[in-house]
Amino acid sequence: MLGSPDVEAVLAWSAGRRDDLPWRQTRDPWGVLVSELMLQQTQVSRVIPRWHQFLARFPSAAACAKAPLGDVVTEWAGLGYNRRAVNLHRAAVAVVEHHGGVVPNELTELLALPGIGPYTARAVLAFAFEHDVAVVDTNVGRILARQRGERLSVKDAQKFADDIVPIGMGWSWNQGLLDVGALICTKRSPRCGECPTSSSCRWFQAGTVAPDPAIGSAAVSKGQSKFEGSFREGRARLLDVLRTGVEVSPEHFRAACGWMNRDEGEADAKRAAESLVRDGLAIKRRDGALSLP
């Protein structure tokens, strides 16, 4: 049907594809939760070894909750978006305190965990518990908008996605759509001739004329600003110094950020330090020095 992906075509195309991804070989809810937080805006190739490494050190929510937050932040080094490490630790503590160390399998309970949003909660339900719920990330959001040939609101995108999940196939269907979006229905130069959803795609059937309905549609990312030379880079450098286990005093913030030759470097370094404390990635000592929590 035009505007709704062909279930059989998607499942046939995706069968066996990327089954070597380690988080697709488990139904352990903790392992799935860790993978989903790691995969947010981080390349799959970078996540694979780190996922194994993280779970070797923190094999359960209880193990993660018991560890100091600083250990979790240190283990997260190189994955970017370090706030996710704080969220994961906070979620692990809540799982232990409110669910006996067992990751819950209800949407409302998952959404109540600190730092867990609609996408992550539904991903855990679909990929750990095999519930028939729709997982809508930026790749799936792009497919949905192009299928309908129009921009979609958050509510409309989620409802559309929920309506087309085939009964009893939540796991394989969501994995299939994620792969179509990541490998075929890409942001730039989509490979429509190879796409298992092209026969039902209104945008393709209309000749893929501009504007692309995915642009500005719900769940579709707008891209990140350049990292090199940015405030985020300096902030990350400061955190990397803290990960070595040392305290960094205020007079060394600027050097740790790598901003000795940067205009407004001292003010920016102070702001970076304050943001780390605000995000829970560092704690401020009595003398103003920073250390890991």
Contact 187, 214 (CB under 8 A): yes
52 three-state secondary structure: helix
Given 8, 36, 109, 130, the catalytic residue:
36
Q: Which two tokens stand for residue 227?
A: 């990292």
Distance (Å, rounded) from C-alpha 115 to C-alpha 279? 12
Instruction: Please provide residue 27's backbone torsions phi and psi, each rounded to the nearest 5 degrees.
Output: -120, 15
Other beta carbons less than 10 A from residue 97's beta carbon:
10
36 noted as active-site residue: yes
Cα 34 from chain centre: 10
Going by C-beta distance under 8 Å and a sequence separation of 6 or more, which residues neighbour residue 91?
33, 61, 113, 114, 115, 116
Distance (Å, rounded) from C-alpha 243 to C-alpha 277? 14
- 72: nearest Cα among 48, 38, 104, 43: 38
How crowded is the C-beta side of 199, counted as CA atoms within 13 Å?
Answer: 7
How crowded is the C-beta side of 288, counted as CA atoms within 13 Å?
Answer: 9
Catalytic residues: 36
